[in-house]
Structure 1
Amino acid sequence: MNFFMILNGRKVKQLMFILVVSFFTALFLYSQSAANVSVFSTKGGPKAVYKGEKGIALTFDIGWGDEKAAGIIKALEKEGVKSATFFLSGSWAERHPDIVDKIVKQGYEIGSLGYAYEDYTELESSKIRSDILKAQEVFKKLNIKNVKLLRSPTGHFDEKTLKVAESLGLTVVHWSVNSNDWKNPGVNKIVQYTAKAKNGDIILLHASDSARQTAKAIPSIVEELANKGNFIKVSDMIANGKVKTTLIQ
């Protein structure tokens, strides 16, 4: 009987030891997780807009190329889309002032993709700031005033990027629907991806030369989405309704 009690006592001690170790391990992991969460959910901190309340925003990124942008602008005009937002890299805009002029004359909005189309998560804050300001100078020379929207090149950004953008009076715009058009999956697939959009969504499309099927997809995209909400500029979406914001790594 005594042997039996001693054996169980040892087992109890072992069990207690395991429980204590498990508790402190869980506590450590939780604290690490909480530290990360606090960074991503800081109240009052800078955030990125990725969704609105009303309207559907068609957004087009242009970082390089001189063949596809004009055709996409023409397709939007033909389909009667009067509001869209084009995010341009400063280096591209500098080389294609004629296409930039067409975008402006159609009444479409221009946002910034920075200048050199570099991944901001890999740059120091000072270099991010310099890249954004260099793009802003290009837009000023092209007589494009009040560029207040920024989409981080490559779509990658972090809290550092958001803080720099906020200090320059810019709103970072992400997206809620990705067309994947740059992968050229086929017109039907592009339409299928964008057809998921609802009122308030910001759709990512491209007008760089890598997006070889986007212009052909536009008529069907417009047809699919016309009854879901009005096509509006991102700035109007921000101004006219509630927006959802996030910090995306």
Structure 2
Amino acid sequence: MYRKQLIHVIVFVIIVAISFQNSYNPFETNDVTTFSNEVQQVSKKEDALYREIQTKSAQFAKDPQNAVIDRVWKKTPGRNGLKVNVDKSYEQMKKKGTFDKTLLVYDEIAPEVTLADLPPAPIYRGHPEKQMTALMINVSWGTEYIPTILNVLKENNVKATFFIEGKWAKENSDFVKMIAEQGHVIGNHAYNHPDMAHLSKTEMTEQIQKTNDIIKAITGKAPTLFAPPSGSFNDQVVDVADEMDMETILWTVDTIDWQNPTVSVMVNRVSSKIHPGAMVLMHPTSPTAQGLDSLITVIKDKGYKLGTVDTLLSEER
């Protein structure tokens, strides 16, 4: 009898334990996490440091700037605005316990008008306040200097934009692949270096399309940037490129490396003319192969980042 009662008690205890384990507990798992987060959020917002960041955030905000057609510089990219992310900034500063503007975290705010929204026009430079420049290397000859140029770019961790002639690409597909595989951007430099401004619309289209087809066949990707040979263009050239979803790219700083200057003359020329948003024109020449390392150093020493043309033209700060 005693044993039977003991068994009943044990079974009852087990049933109660199982029932209690499976019952709803409002303070378990996700509910506990949610409750804890809400408490932390309230506590954070009551912190004097958090309120200080909120109060001061407006003075560090910057409005986005729309892309425009400049009277002189034509199509000019816009620039993202900045808004202080109060929560992330607080996380950065709470260990220190005091406000430090160098620890502010920002969110970028896109402008309402981008380059894609503007009518066709040539592009000479990036945003005039963007502390970045881009190297654009137009290639239709100088094959022997390509390996050296690529090595210098790799050693300096710099990506450039190579505007490649279609005929040259067809004859030097291994170099084109190498350029693409090393992370550089490839643009279109027409098929056989014509004076684009003196071609018919049909001829313009053929020059650009044929080159796009060749480059895509080699790299798997068609260019979106077009640099007219010798910088020769007219409105129709720009319109034809636009119809093919391509931007027409010119430059603001010319190395004049094709005139075979000494390295020091070339580097000093670039150093004196470099500016925010600059696009630096060069070719695969002996002066460029010899002086590229020094030229990169000079640009970086002036506080500029070096990026590809498409990065320079983006709204990112």
Letter of the structure 2 residue corresponding to residue 235 of structure 1: D
Letter of the structure 2 residue corresponding to residue 225 of structure 1: I
1:66 to 143, 148, 156: 143
Q: Is 1:137 aligned with 2:137? A: no
1:219 to 293, 300, 304: 293
**Cα shift at 1:127:** 0.3
TM-score between the two structures when normalised by the length of structure 2: 0.60
Residue 50 of structure 1: SS of its match in structure 2?
A: coil
Q: Which stretch shifts more, 222-231 or 110-119?
A: 222-231
**Cα shift at 1:122:** 1.2
Letter of the structure 1 residue corresponding to residue 238 of structure 2: L
2:307 to 216, 232, 236: 232
Change (3 A) 1:116 1:45: same
Matches within 5 A, 1:79-158: 79-81=156-158, 83-158=159-234
Note if contact 2:74-2:121 (Cα within 8 Å) is conserved in structure 1: no
TM-score between the two structures when normalised by the length of structure 1: 0.75
Q: How many residues align?
A: 199
Letter of the structure 2 residue corresponding to residue 109 of structure 1: V
Letter of the structure 1 residue corresponding to residue 258 of structure 2: W
Unaligned runs of 5+ in 1: 1-37, 243-249
Counterparts of 2:143 and 2:228, CA distance in 1: 21
The CA deviation string for residues 65-98 of structure 1, in whole angstroms up to 9 with x for no partner, is 42111111112112232x2100000110111111
**Cα shift at 1:240:** 2.5
Note if contact 2:74-2:123 (Cα within 8 Å) is conserved in structure 1: no
**Cα shift at 1:45:** 4.0
Q: Which stretch shifts more, 98-107 or 169-178?
A: 98-107
The CA deviation string for residues 135-159 of structure 1, in whole angstroms up to 9 with x for no partner, is 0110121034141000001211111
Q: Is 1:46 aligned with 2:120? A: yes
Note if contact 2:138-2:162 (Cα within 8 Å) is conserved in structure 1: yes
Note if contact 1:52-1:241 (Cα within 8 Å) is conserved in structure 2: no
User: Which of 1 and 2 has greater Rg?
Assistant: 2
Note if contact 1:180-1:193 (Cα within 8 Å) is conserved in structure 2: no
Counterparts of 1:199 and 1:76, CA distance in 2: 20
Change (3 A) 1:45 1:221: same
Counterparts of 2:219 and 2:255, CA distance in 1: 31
Counterparts of 1:120 and 1:145, CA distance in 2: 23
Change (3 A) 1:146 1:140: closer
Letter of the structure 2 residue corresponding to residue 234 of structure 1: V
Q: Is 1:185 aligned with 2:261? A: yes
Note if contact 2:257-2:283 (Cα within 8 Å) is conserved in structure 1: yes
Residue 199 of structure 1: SS of its match in structure 2?
A: coil
- Where relative contact order (Cα < 8 A, 6+ residues apart) is larger, the structure is 1
Counterparts of 1:179 and 1:198, CA distance in 2: 14
Counterparts of 2:172 and 2:163, CA distance in 1: 14
Counterparts of 1:191 and 1:154, CA distance in 2: 21
Q: Which stretch shifts more, 232-241 or 148-157?
A: 232-241
1:160 to 233, 236, 241: 236
Change (3 A) 1:52 1:96: same
Letter of the structure 2 residue corresponding to residue 180 of structure 1: I
